[in-house]
């Protein structure tokens, strides 16, 4: 079937059929219904290739993921897909598989620039996508990494100051203050912090939020109780072992770990010292990874709304293509995070 066949059978012009298919102009309800009835009866599908040659648009959004096995990626892509199902756009996914080459040296993304450029070149000139969503596996600034693409670019779970880029990421500082306040409200005064890699943006923002909450409560953060981890479980264990070497009378009563993996490592160390979580030392994490709901006791943490990041990134990129919508002119969008209160914070009355 062609548009001409549809028009002949529905008794309308080919232009009317085109307007109905593309929903581009108002068509009299009776004529619209006749066209839709013929389309339903014949199972007609528009020829996307022919349309793309005519309009110079493919209705394909390239999704370039740093690594589909990374913690945030699957749920971000799920959010992208959910939004795109509501539109005429399709996604083309490309996986850069960076976990093995970068591990947790996320700031060295610049060394992967050639690999990124090659993948972007394929999306841009080979697949001829209309726009690109770049899905980071860690929250950091990737300005200057994406080059040579004069199409709308939305960076999800990372940030970019590049001219054509819009960033969609999550809230760090205020939610970390809320988490610290939850611990303070439970009566804790001697609070330890296990940071991620100290030079990374999430570690710095989360520490800033924690410090603000502690200061506002009239407390102080003892520098001896701040230990630098590297986001991995083993570093959480090692940092907690250092904290346990403090004199028994000045042990922290609560530990704020900057992600769930380090929090679980800290819990292992606490139990290994014949202490209890949360009765002796409370522990909180960040990320709300699946494991945080399976450990015992269940971990109090912060949930990053990864699906909303993907959904919003998809909204933003399509609105930039159409030039209309709340995100059409945005350069940065921050998705709220929320506390997940479980079982690893105990009430204190003796601190």
pLDDT of 350 reads 67
Cα gap 165→120, rounded to integer Å: 14
Q: Give the C-alpha separation, 22 to 75, whole Å.
A: 31
Fold identical between 56-171+306-337 and 173-303?
Answer: yes
Summarised one tens digit per residue, pLDDT across range 24-79 is 667 888 998 998 898 888 887 765 544 544 545 778 999 999 999 999 999 999 99
Distance CA 211, CA 213 (A): 5
Those residues whose C-beta lies under 8 Å from the C-beta of residue 247, and which sit 6 or more positions away, are none
Residue 49 pLDDT = 47
Packing angle, helices 3-10 and 29-42, rounded to 10: 120
Helix (H, G, I), strand (E, B) or coil at 143: coil
The CATH code that applies to domain 56-171+306-337 is 3.40.50.2300
What are the residue boundaries of the structural domains of the chain, listed by start?
3-46, 56-171+306-337, 173-303
Token look-up 């953060």 returns 221
- In contact, 317 and 333? CB cutoff 8 Å: no
CATH architecture of the domain 3-46 equals: Orthogonal Bundle (1.10)
Which is nearest to 59 in space by CA: 82, 87, 79, 39?
Answer: 87
Say if CB 32 and CB 18 are below 8 A apart: no
Instruction: Return d(Cα 291, Cα 298) in angstroms, integer.
Output: 9
| Residue numbers in the chain where pLDDT is lower than 70 | 23-25, 46-56, 103-108, 110-111, 247-249, 350-351
In whole angstroms, what is the distance from residue 144 CA to residue 139 CA? 15
CB-based contact 202:258 (threshold 8 Å): yes
Residue 136: per-residue pLDDT: 95
């904290």: which residue's tokens?
A: 243
Which value, to the nearest 10 degrees, does the dihedral of the CA atoms of residues 163, 168, 172, 178 take? 140
Q: Where do we find the tokens 């992208």? A: 80
Could you give the residue ranges of the DSSP H alpha helices within the chain? 3-10, 14-22, 29-42, 48-55, 73-84, 99-102, 113-121, 173-185, 201-216, 233-244, 260-272, 306-322
CATH architecture of 173-303: 3-Layer(aba) Sandwich (3.40)
At residue 314, the pLDDT reads 98
Cβ atoms within 10 Å, residue 215: 11
By C-alpha distance, which of 237, 217, 212, 214 is closest to 227?
237
């Amino acid at each position: 079937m062609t548009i001409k066949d549809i028009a002949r059978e529905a008794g309308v012009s080919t232009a009317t059929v085109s307007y109905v298919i593309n929903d581009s102009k108002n068509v009299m309800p009776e004529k619209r219904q006749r066209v839709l009835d013929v389309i339903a009866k014949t199972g007609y599908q528009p020829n996307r290739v022919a349309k793309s040659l005519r309009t110079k648009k493919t209705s394909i959004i390239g999704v370039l993921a740093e690594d589909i096995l990374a913690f945030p990626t699957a749920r971000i892509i799920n959010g992208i897909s959910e939004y795109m199902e509501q539109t005429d756009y399709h996604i083309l996914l490309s996986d850069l598989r960076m976990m093995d080459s970068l591990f947790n040296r996320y700031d060295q993304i610049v060394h992967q620039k050639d690999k990124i450029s090659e993948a972007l070149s394929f999306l841009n000139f080979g697949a001829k996508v209309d726009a690109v969503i770049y899905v980071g596996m860690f929250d950091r600034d990737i300005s200057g990494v994406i080059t040579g693409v004069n199409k709308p670019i939305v960076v999800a779970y990372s940030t970019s100051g590049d001219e054509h880029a819009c960033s969609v990421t999550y809230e760090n500082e205020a939610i970390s203050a809320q988490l610290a306040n939850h611990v303070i409200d439970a009566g804790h005064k001697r609070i330890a912090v296990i940071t991620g890699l100290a030079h990374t943006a999430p570690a710095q923002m989360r520490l800033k939020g924690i410090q603000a909450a502690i200061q506002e409560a009239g407390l102080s953060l003892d520098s001896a109780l701040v230990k630098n981890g590297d986001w991995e479980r083993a570093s959480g264990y090692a940092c907690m072992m250092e904290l346990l070497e403090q004199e028994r009378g000045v042990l922290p009563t609560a530990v704020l770990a900057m992600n769930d993996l380090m929090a679980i490592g800290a819990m292992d160390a606490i139990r290994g010292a014949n202490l209890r979580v949360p009765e002796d030392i409370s522990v909180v994490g960040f990320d709300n990874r699946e494991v945080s709901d399976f450990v015992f006791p269940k971990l109090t943490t912060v949930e990053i709304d990864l699906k909303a990041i993907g959904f919003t990134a998809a909204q933003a990129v399509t609105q930039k293509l159409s030039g209309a919508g709340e995100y059409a002119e945005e350069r940065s969008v921050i998705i709220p995070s929320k506390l997940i209160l479980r079982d690893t914070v105990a009430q204190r009355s003796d601190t």
